[in-house]
């Protein structure tokens, strides 16, 4: 293969494929087709006359030569990114795409103004956003599927760094037809044995709400469970039960008077938010800037 050469994009494709074990995911991350990923890997293997990947019947692994090549790709990409950061006079000078994943409630209600203001400031940086559950976001950050994740109640993990963001106030929410809707403030004990609309158990916000209800010896009747806040709010609007939700996620419904929001008497309860990144994966200057923008209270 005289005259053949490798390009930086091919190193990244191989690294992404090796980390995810998926041709389709690697293709999506690099904005190419799955066929193009296969062709690039085949080209690299022909170039070195070595098999780098073992694939077939749902199995994926690297050969010894493949692991050596992956180590080299990782170092090359790290040096390349470091060099770019050093020569750039300003963030956003070179067109880049930052892949991020967020839980639904933060993505729909907290991020939009921040995304708009950031992209107005840095027009060459494209933010590619996906919505997911917290547990899936952790998995995808660890596997390198996304550059960072935005979650509620981030939990410690040996391979994850957490940058904490704003705290969101939690409030009691019910239908205007609920008898509790007439109260100015509400005690948690008033909720004992009442019908409750909850997030599914895999969502950390549910566990936190259950925690402070349990500490007050309050038991609620779970009527329905949902994995996203939009469907949950519709159920509360129908009067099926009450819920406890981040205040900023129900502002429009309160304005339209389809939901009633009431502060909790015991004092404000808050939902912690944070951005997670993989510890051993270097962040580009642009990614660091996005994270700073999203977690700066002045934004």
**The domain boundary residue, chosen from 87, 111, 142:** 87
Residue 212 lies in a domain: yes
Say if strands 221-226 and 260-262 run parallel, antiparallel, or are unpaired: unpaired
CA angle, residues 279, 293, 107, in degrees to nearest 5: 85
Quote the pTM value.
0.70
**The domain boundary residue, chosen from 60, 87, 114:** 87
The pLDDT tens digits for 131-186 are 999 999 999 898 888 899 999 999 999 999 999 988 888 999 999 999 999 988 88
Residue 116 lies in a domain: no
Tokens 């639904």 belong to residue = 104
Residue 93 pLDDT: 57
Using the predicted structure, report yes or no on whether residue 247 has a pLDDT greater than 70.
yes
Residue 110 lies in a domain: no
Average pLDDT on 62-83 reads: 89
What crossing angle do the helices spanning 8-20 and 34-48 adopt, rounded to 10°? Answer: 110
d(CA 90, CA 92): 6
Using the predicted structure, report yes or no on whether residue 1 has a pLDDT greater than 60.
no
Residue 121 pLDDT: 86
The residue among 152 and 2 whose pLDDT is bigger is: 152
Residue 58 lies in a domain: yes
Query: Domain containing 18 — which CATH number?
Result: 1.10.10.10
Residue 92 pLDDT: 53
Residue 25 lies in a domain: yes
- The structure tokens listed for 240 are 């099926």
Residue 121 lies in a domain: no
The pLDDT tens digits for 100-111 are 999 998 998 889
What's 237-252 look like in SS3?
HCCCCEEEEEHHHCHH
Residue 282 pLDDT: 80
Query: Domain containing 219 — which CATH number?
Result: 3.40.190.290
Using the predicted structure, report yes or no on whether residue 85 has a pLDDT greater than 80.
no
Least confident range of 189-198, 235-244, 260-269: 260-269
Average pLDDT on 244-256 reads: 93
Residue 279 pLDDT: 87
How far are the Cα atoms of 32, 59, 197, 201, 284 from residue 244, in angstroms, in the given order?
Answer: 43, 44, 8, 15, 38
Which domain does 30 fall in, by range? 8-87
pLDDT grade for 299, boundaries at 50, 70 and 90: very low
Rg (CA), the chain: 24
H/E stretch holding 34 reads helix 34-48
Residue 265 pLDDT: 83
Residue 134 lies in a domain: no
Q: How many domains does the chain have?
A: 2
Residue 16 lies in a domain: yes
């Amino acid at each position: 293969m005289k005259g053949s050469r490798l390009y930086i994009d091919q190193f990244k494709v191989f690294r992404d494929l090796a980390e995810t074990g998926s041709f389709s995911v690697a293709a999506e991350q690099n904005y190419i087709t799955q066929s193009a990923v296969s062709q690039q890997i085949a080209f690299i293997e022909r170039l070195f006359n070595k098999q780098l990947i073992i694939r077939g019947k749902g199995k994926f692994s690297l050969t010894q030569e493949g692991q050596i090549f992956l180590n080299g790709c990782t170092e090359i990409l790290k040096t390349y990114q470091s060099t770019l950061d050093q020569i750039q006079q300003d963030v956003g000078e070179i067109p880049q795409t930052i892949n991020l994943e967020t839980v639904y409630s933060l993505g729909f209600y907290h991020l939009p103004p921040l995304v708009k203001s950031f992209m107005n400031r840095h027009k060459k940086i494209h933010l590619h956003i996906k919505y997911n559950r917290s547990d899936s976001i952790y998995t995808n950050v660890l596997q390198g599927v996304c550059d960072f994740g935005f979650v509620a109640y981030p939990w410690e993990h040996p391979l994850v760094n957490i940058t904490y963001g704003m705290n969101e106030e939690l409030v009691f929410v019910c239908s205007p037809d609920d008898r509790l809707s007439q109260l100015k403030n509400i005690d948690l004990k008033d909720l004992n044995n009442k019908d409750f609309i909850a997030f599914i158990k895999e969502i950390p916000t549910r566990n936190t709400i259950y925690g402070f209800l349990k500490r007050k010896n309050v038991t609620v009747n779970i009527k329905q469970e949902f994995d996203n806040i939009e469907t949950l709010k519709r159920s509360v609007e129908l009067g099926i039960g009450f819920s406890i939700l981040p205040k900023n996620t129900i502002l429009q419904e309160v304005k339209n008077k389809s939901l009633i929001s009431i502060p909790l008497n015991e004092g404000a309860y808050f939902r912690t938010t944070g951005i997670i990144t993989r510890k051993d994966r270097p962040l580009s200057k642009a990614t660091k800037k996005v994270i700073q923008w999203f977690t700066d209270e002045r934004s």
